[in-house]
Chain A
Amino acid sequence: MGAPYGSAAVAALRGTGAEIRDAGPGDTVAGVVPRWVALPGSTEEVAALMRVCASLDLAAVPTGGGTRLHWGRPPERCDLLVGTRHLDGILEHASGDLVVRTQAGVTAEALAGALAAAGQELALDVPAGGSTVGGVLATAAAGPRRLRYGTARDLLIGITVVLADGTVARSGGKVVKNVAGYDLGKLFTGSYGTLGIITEAAFRLHPVSPVRRWTTVRLPGPDSWTVPDGSGRLEAPIGPIGPTGPAGPAGPAGMGDPVGPADTAGPIGPAALASALAAAQAEPSAVELDWAAPSGGVTVSALFEGAAADARAQAVQGLAGACGPWEVAGEAPAWWGETPGNGVPGEILLELRVPPASADRALRAVAARGLPARVRGSLASAVLHVALPAETGGPEFAAFVSGVRDDVRPLGGRLTVLAAPPELARRVDPWGPVGALPLMRRVKERFDPGRRMSPGRLAEGL
């Protein structure tokens, strides 16, 4: 690269103590090749790097394991890729407090290994191998057990970040219960490196369940789902409520109980099944769906954790009605917790979210588009990943996105483009309408007025 002050910039970057090298094709960020790669070994080195970037107006993109570097939009500019792989220390595992404090570059596997020794785990089922703590937070990645334990933002209790000007800031701490100050961790979760670089994080942990049972059933395709999904949704504006209870002594009029399998005539749909599982008090930790192709059947699998997991997994047998029996196993199905795409640059991956009772209708909307989509994800939370074949053409892709969006919008749902080749991504708004976008832009302006942190990577103006 022939920047006028290229060698001086490299010298300045090296002066921080971080390892610096020229970037190669393997360092591409959503199609954009940076100039250099920095591998700092401490929060202080990250801060020093950011100060150099500030003085030279270099744009920086942080990366962890690089597993989702092709996700998001291409950065408007990218001079320096800041890799966190040397930030790989587990700083403190307070097993008695069920808390771990770790540097951002620690991989999910390494963390799991260290915690397992104490019979504990970070209850985030990180989808892809090699993911780091920082990357999981920045992309708000989550897995099947979001139903029980929430996502990264729910388990994160403290964070250290470096801002565009080199400021090191911490919020939260290493105690689970803490309401002092703003929660910067929440803000940085899902920020895709646009607000700063995450260098450390603290999480609450859970004991590893002594027994795990997956119970799996196969349902036929959407043509035969008889339960009209989403029908239980009720608008029930009721009179003024006194602080002691509802105005109507009998409760809101017309409020229906969740759709259960009892009132189904034919094969049950996935949404009704998930609803029945949730209402059965069996307390599954996850209810996942895998749908290989819109023409075929749907596999639903639920995870039960706890000493009595076996009995609880057996107890839900009746819920699938004629579709049973369920297969109960001590191992997860092969597809469990994996995104449906191939995980490499060029994949087309979308995220579909709807209110859970409308999951069937959302799946039908996908099927109606006629593309060979593969859908997988959390059925009970109705956060589903949709993968399209890499060879999908631009117009087909755009029609798919706008068509599904039109269908799920009335349900209160949304479709987001997580990853797509730039020539496809350009054809659509990756998010669709987001009411809070102007506020997000104001946050970005405050944190990174020089637009040096992964500019444009998340959305226009972020």
Chain B
Amino acid sequence: MDPDIDPRIGPGIDPGLIGDCVHCGFCLPSCPTYVLWGEEMDSPRGRIHLMGQHVAGTPVTGEMAGHFDACLGCMACVTACPSGVRYDRLIEQTRAVVEREHVRPPADRAVRELVFRLFPYPRRLRAMRLPLRLGTGLRRRIAPALERVSPSLAALADLAPEPVRHRRLPRRVRAVGRRRATVGLLTGCVQGEFFPQVNAATARVLAMEGCEVVIPPAQGCCGALSLHSGRPGQAARFARRTIAAFERAGVDTVVVNAAGCGSTMKDYTGILDGGWADRAAAIRVADLAEYLVELGPVATRHPLPLTAAYHDACHLAHAQGIRSQPRELLAAVPGLELREIAESAICCGSAGTYNILQPEAARELGDRKAERVLATGADLLVSANPGCTMQITAAIRRAGATPIPVAHTAQVLDASLRALREIG
């Protein structure tokens, strides 16, 4: 058996969790795929029903697997559910079952292999950036051919942002002024490789707010991508390594600036067992915005006269319940006018590796999100998740609209604290 899929979260789908669903349907309007297709089996309620069918003895059919694969794992349904159904747990268990029991067509298998052998490994990802470092012109020219060969690879090429120079972060950043706290910083894989400037900004903001920031160089992927794709074995391996890295760095609080990573790390105790679960519990994980609001501001905010639309990343809003904190931080920047994006609770279609594995649905959702983002008329889009940023940027590019600059909350704060004229 593939050690990556090795069941660590139990042998199958927990029938008790399925039984919590009363079939009320309150999850339907929150589900991106139901919004797109209006089909019961592509809604959380329908997927739970499919899980029930499997538990009752129906084998995983191709159709069934397709509906599970189509789930973005955005967790909007968890927020919407009045009965407290743990759909997050259910879909993780189900994905593991699918990976174990279902044989996918060869082309699908190849793409999935590529993704899981690439994304969680920063060094491989860095190597991969070379072929993606194609000018937009060239990219446009090869796109049709790539689309024919593999929509997934086309999506991958489409998503990759314009490369930025990779900057190595120091192992430790000293607090500015009186030291108020010492925190670890997770650099992440996609964030670290495609958006190193966000990590730099995060470190600076934390330092300017009086934090000593520890950045262990040995950290790798947190395990989020694997966990959300039915590879709990791989996820657990990454989780253990991440815990060990921060333990060695001697911090008990880890600040995370990528939504998907944060939600996974907050759930380490559910992925691991025994001693590792205890060690996970000893480390406090906080999202950057959550942490900064708790800490309270000390640094001076300089004006940034612009309108900004804030995008709720699913793994921040739904998985971690963090909605008000980033808005609070942004609204506190003098001169900054915050605008709401319609249908903010609906996923942009990025969802970890979803835009690569389910390119058509992801594109529809991306287009839908881009339309609503553009409708705000904002100067800047603020997104706290690298996947969302890539996804929405690509969709806006497809729409042929004037590109809207996208920045992480950390970059906006960094610009305000440093009195920069531009966000970078």
- Let me know if chains A and B touch directly in the complex, using CB atoms closer than 8 Å: yes
Residues of A within 8 A of B (CB): 242-250
Given A249-B341, A249-B342, also A244-B30 (CB < 8 A): yes
Q: Is the CB of B376 within 8 A of A242?
A: no
Chain A CB within 8 A of B34 CB? yes
Chain B residues with CB under 8 Å of A247's CB are 368, 371
- Per the bound structure, the CA–CA distance linking A290 and B341 in Å amounts to 49
| Contact across chains for B343 and A249 when beta carbons are under 8 A apart | yes
Is the beta-carbon distance between B371 and A249 smaller than 8 angstroms? yes
B298 CB–A CB distance under 8 Å: no
For B32, give the chain A residue with the smallest CB separation. Answer: A242
Chain B positions within 8 Å of A249 at CB level: 341-343, 371-372, 375-376
Which of B29, B342, B371 is A243 in contact with, Cβ under 8 Å?
B29
Q: Which residues of A contact B372 (CB under 8 A)?
A: 249
B interface, CB within 8 angstroms of A = 28-30, 34-35, 341-343, 345-346, 368, 371-372, 375-376
Given the known A-B contacts A249-B375, A249-B376, are A243 and B341 also in contact in the complex, defined by CB atoms under 8 Å?
no
Of B29, B342, B376, chain A has the most CB atoms within 10 Å of the CB of B342
Q: Which chain A residues lie closer than 8 Å to B343 at the CB level?
A: 242, 244-245, 249
Chain B residues contacting A242 (CB-CB under 8 Å) are 29, 35, 343, 346
Query: Nearest Cβ in chain A — how far from B338, in angstroms?
Result: 15
CA of A244 to CA of B375, assembled, Å: 17
B18 → chain A, closest Cβ, in Å? 23
Query: How far does the Cβ of B389 sit from chain A's closest Cβ, in whole Å?
Result: 20
A42 CB to closest chain B CB (Å) equals 48
Q: Which residues of A contact B28 (CB under 8 A)?
A: 243
Which of A242, A246, A248 neighbours the largest number of chain B CB atoms within 10 Å of its CB? A242
- Bound CA span A46–B420, Å: 90
Nearest 3 A/B pairs, CB to CB: A243-B29, A249-B342, A242-B35
Q: What residues of B have a CB within 8 angstroms of the CB of A245 in the complex?
A: 342-343
Closest B residue by C-beta to A246: B342
With A249-B341, A249-B342 as known contacts, state yes or no: A243 contacts B375, CB within 8 Å: no
Q: A246: which B residues are within 8 A, CB to CB?
A: 342
Please indicate the chain A residues that have their CB under 8 angstroms from the CB of B341 in the complex.
249
Name the residue of chain A whose CB is nearest to the CB of B371.
A249
Expressed in whole angstroms, the minimum distance between the Cβ of A127 and any Cβ of chain B is 46
Whether the Cβ atoms of B376 and A243 lie closer than 8 Å is: no
* B122: min CB distance to chain A, Å: 36
Chain A residue at smallest Cβ distance from B35: A242
Shortest Cβ distance from residue B90 to the other chain A in the assembled complex, whole angstroms:
22
- Pairs across A and B, CB under 8 Å, 12 listed: A243-B28, A243-B34, A244-B30, A244-B35, A244-B343, A244-B346, A246-B342, A247-B368, A247-B371, A249-B343, A249-B372, A250-B375
Contacts of B342 in A (CB 8 A): 245-246, 249-250
- Do A244 and B376 touch across chains, with their CB atoms under 8 A apart? no
Contact of A248 with B375 at beta-carbon distance under 8 Å, contacts A242-B29, A242-B35 already known: yes
Nearest B residue to A249 by beta-carbon distance?
B342
Report Cα–Cα, A246/B35, bound state, in Å: 11
Q: How far is the CA of A250 from the CA of B374 in the complex (A)?
A: 11
**A246 to B342 alpha-carbon distance, docked (Å):** 9
CB neighbours of A244 from chain B (8 A): 29-30, 35, 343, 345-346
Residues from chain A with Cβ under 8 Å of B371 in the complex:
247-249
Known: A242-B29, A242-B346, A247-B368. 17 other contacts (CB 8 A): A242-B35, A243-B29, A243-B35, A244-B29, A244-B30, A244-B343, A244-B346, A245-B342, A245-B343, A248-B371, A249-B342, A249-B343, A249-B371, A249-B375, A249-B376, A250-B342, A250-B375
CB distance from A23 to the nearest CB of B (A): 60
B391 to chain A, nearest CB (A): 18
